[in-house]
Amino acid sequence: MGMTMSQKILAKHAGLEKVVAGQLIRAKLDMVLGNDITSPVAINEFNKAGFDGIFDKDKISLVMDHFTPNKDIKAATQCKQCRDFAGKYDITNYFDVGDMGIEHALLPEKGLIGPGELCIGADSHTCTYGALGAFSTGVGSTDMAAGMATGEAWFKVPSAIKFNLTGKLSKYVTGKDVILHIIGMIGVDGALYRSMEFTGEGLSSLNMDDRLCIANMAIEAGAKNGIFEVDDITLEYCKGRVNRPFDIFKADDDAEYDEVIDIDLSTIKQTVSFPHLPENTKTIDEITEDVKIDQVVIGSCTNGRMSDMRIAAEILKDKHIAKGVRCIVIPGTQKVYLDCVKEGLAEIFINAGCVFSTPTCGPCLGGHMGILAAGERAVSTTNRNFVGRMGHIDSEVYLASPAVAAASAVAGKIAGIK
């Protein structure tokens, strides 16, 4: 029996000819990632274990993105601890205010992850980089500490679900709608500790931002990782970014999958996830009641990239958000921010009555810059809508694409766009 894409990557990094689902392995890492919340815990464990060096200063990334610019003394202290650690060990990829971005938007943009590589990160949405044909997954801060010191981590090899994509997305339907549709179909534990592997001729309909969004939310279906077959779109994205040799792994024809799910992209509709789980989905035409909203957030590691900004600006141009609605637009990186300024998108957002923010995870995790009060509702392009995720436990979060979020901001209620 052959191997899946994920299994091939793990086998190579473990120095093995073959691995099988359920096997425990130790594998060499190409990147270890942490942020301003998880890195301090990892640094404490690193010091407690008595480590006195890191495995490779170029293969660790510390990104200050969750509570930055710092919201309080505790956040400032956490960032200082990371800053001091990065300075002590001369870590190349340390990103702070003014030179940072939301980690899972920043690392692909900087070319720090490439096809066939193996990455762990002390953040559950590290699975984002599977969009590039890499194996990437979230781990705990203790595993991050060991990874920084040794350059290795242990894995239980996952089994896999194959998603065979056909057809082409309709206008104003995006990768966010695809992944919400999938999670609505299989549930938040439908891919538990399995690899979600995407292939098929329908890949040509998905740009890299769509793929990054889909892979990002693999964890919301319980997956160990999400991964896309490398094609010309992947290689074009990597050109000029990933300036080192990389390997491309394709699943064997006889690879074993737990199940194969066929998805015709042309049938996907604009989709919204209702509180309080990502699986609680409805298509726009299934929403018959008026769901009035108080806030809209467009951004995050899921939907803070340039195509997300462009589609939101297209819908908001020459319009104004509804009275009583707050709309916060957060570019994923400094480059996306600057491109928004250059293309005139920032002016569109501000003229529409939006706040245009520096890159930050802020409101996504109820951190800052957009906390919800009791009884408030938000439409958000983020990835989680758990109870209290963006503020008060009596608030509600509705997950949607940038197109639906922008249309809802104008309507003052959940709305689609034709």
- The whole-number pLDDT of residue 127 equals 96
For β-strands 281-283 and 271-273, DSSP reports them as antiparallel
Exposure string of 102-116, with b = 16+ CB inside 10 Å and e = fewer, is bbbbbbbbbbbbbbb
Ramachandran angles phi, psi of 80, nearest 5°: -65, -40
Ramachandran angles phi, psi of 259, nearest 5°: -160, 160
Which CATH number among 3.30.499.10, 3.40.605.10, 3.40.30.10, 3.40.50.720 corresponds to the domain 273-411? 3.30.499.10
273-411 and 5-265 share a CATH fold: yes
- The whole-number pLDDT of residue 203 equals 96
pTM higher than 0.75, yes or no? yes
Q: What's the average pLDDT block by block, 10 residues per block, for the chain (418 residues)?
A: 95 97 97 96 96 97 92 94 97 93 96 97 96 97 96 97 97 96 95 96 96 97 97 96 95 95 97 95 94 96 96 97 97 96 98 95 86 96 91 95 98 94
Measured CA to CA, the distance from residue 29 to residue 349 in angstroms comes to 41
Residue 320 preceded by cis peptide, ω within 30: no
Residues 6+ apart with CB under 8 A from 344: none
Burial of 207 (0-12, 13-18, 19+ CB in 10 A): middle
Instruction: Please list the residues that pair with 197 across neighbouring strands.
Output: 162, 227
- The whole-number pLDDT of residue 336 equals 97
CATH number belonging to domain 5-265? 3.30.499.10
Q: Write down the domain spans for the chain.
A: 5-265, 273-411
* Sign of the Cα pseudo-torsion (61, 65, 69, 75, in order): negative
